[in-house]
Amino acid sequence: MKRYLFFLIATVIVIIPNSCKKDPALPLPVTPYEPSPYNLVIPQGFPDMEIPSDNPLTVEGIQLGRRLFYDTLLSGDFTQSCSSCHNQAVAFSDNGKQFSTGIDNIEGGVNAPTIINPGWMPSAFWDGRANSLEEQALGPVENPIEMHLDWPDAIDRLDAHELYPTLFSNVFGDKPIKKEMVAKAIAQFERTFISSESDWDKYLRGEYMLSQSEAKGFEVFFTEKGDCFHCHGTILFTDNLFHNNGLDSVLTNLGLGAITGNSNDNGKFKSPTLRNIEFTAPYMHDGRFGTLEEVIDFYSEGVKFSATIDPLMKKVHQGGLHLTESEKQDLIAFLKALTDEDFLNNPDYSSPF
């Protein structure tokens, strides 16, 4: 009997520990993440915004993108961020600089584009080399003229940060941080950059009366007298297309042509939005004009012919539009009516640091 009891106890001791082992076939629990959908309000009269199905707007994604946009951690020497060349106070342009300077004090070759209503842009950069905001956001970090940091090193910094692993997990789930996630978050933040509260917008809604000079400038802008509306006549004040607008007779920067390889595209650059143009000097892809007066003088008397000049520049053979001085001043008055103080001061677009 004693022998039997000893055998029974020994058997139970062996069985109990084995019964507590986890079945290796069972999957480990995954921490759930449920980012909150962001309700983007499209202004009256604006077209619908096409948002990529693989990068929907979320509250957490926009918050992450805002932080990344302003964080110098993504530059080689911790001195530069996206906001260094895209300052909200000047409509996300580069503080009046003709050419931006990166961390190694190397100057770029084109004027930093503004970031205004970018959610409606089918392409980015003056030459259209990026087909989405996500693709655009990948470029500056590794660019040796800009932030000059290899992406693997940037990811290592994010992984080692006290907050970023959790912030990324809240947006993308329990996955390793990748550069594509960085670009997606920044793109989400930028899609919220909506400018729709200028005096012109208020005029369209019946909330503002144009001054006499602004009304005359409106007439110059939207008629053949000024020809501005051909490239800037939409509610966005850009057609998002590429044009050779007669800046040079000899084309040294090929613009879109350098991307497509089609000589018919040489000298064509993307039409910029004219919203908030009062604050985005200098102007043109190379920042050659420092004031609106210089821009209008060019279109009035300085247009030059070249092989790919846009057919819309119908008065090229007479050198331009030949506006009167009063027409020029009225046009400037109208352009200043496109300034949106709410956009320039919106706290949701400001630095979180």
Instruction: Taking residues 121-137, report their average pLDDT.
Output: 97
Q: Which of 30-34, 135-139, 327-331 has the lowest mean pLDDT?
A: 30-34
Residues in CB range of 144: below 8 A, 6 or more apart: 102, 104, 106
* DSSP label at residue 118: G
Q: Which of 8-22, 64-78, 160-174 has the lowest mean pLDDT?
A: 8-22
Q: How many Cα atoms sit within 13 Å of 132 on the Cβ side? A: 16
pLDDT beyond 90 at 9: no
Question: Tokens 């409509």 belong to which residue?
Answer: 91
59-194 matches 199-342 in fold: yes
Q: Which residues of 164-189 are buried (b: 16+ CB within 10 A; e: fewer)?
A: beebbebbbeeeebebbbbbbbbbbb
pLDDT digits (tens, 9 = 90+) for 207-251: 999 999 999 999 999 999 999 999 999 999 999 999 999 999 999
Instruction: Taking residues 120-128, report their average pLDDT.
Output: 97
CATH architecture classification, 199-342: Orthogonal Bundle (1.10)
pLDDT digits (tens, 9 = 90+) for 91-104: 999 999 999 999 99
Model pTM score? 0.89
How many secondary structure helices (H) and strands (E) does the chain include?
14, 2
pLDDT digits (tens, 9 = 90+) for 172-215: 999 999 999 999 999 999 999 999 999 999 999 999 999 999 99
Provide the pLDDT for residue 33. 75
Q: Which CATH superfamily is domain 59-194 in?
A: Cytochrome c-like domain (1.10.760.10)
DSSP bridge pairs for 269 = 243
- Helix, strand, or coil (residue 71): coil
Question: What are the sequence ranges of the domains in the chain?
Answer: 59-194, 199-342
Dihedrals phi, psi of 349, to nearest 5 degrees: -100, -5
In this structure, what token pair is assigned to residue 238? 């850009």
In this structure, what token pair is assigned to residue 117? 């209503």
pLDDT digits (tens, 9 = 90+) for 68-117: 999 999 999 999 999 999 999 999 999 999 999 999 999 999 999 999 99
Q: Check residues 280 and 4 and name the one with the higher pLDDT.
A: 280
* DSSP label at residue 152: H
21 vs 16, 195, 304, CA distance in Å?
9, 60, 82
- Please say whether the dihedral angle defined by the alpha carbons of residues 93, 97, 101 and 107, taken in this order, is positive or negative: positive
> What is the Rg, in whole angstroms, of the alpha carbon atoms belonging to the chain?
28
**Mean per-residue pLDDT over the chain, rounded:** 92
* DSSP label at residue 193: -
pLDDT confidence of 31, banded at 50, 70, 90?
A: low
DSSP bridge pairs for 336 = none
Whole-angstrom Cα distance, residue 284 to residue 322?
A: 20
Beta strands in the chain (DSSP E): 242-243, 269-270
Provide the pLDDT for residue 314. 87
pLDDT confidence of 5, banded at 50, 70, 90?
A: very low
In this structure, what token pair is assigned to residue 215? 């009304």
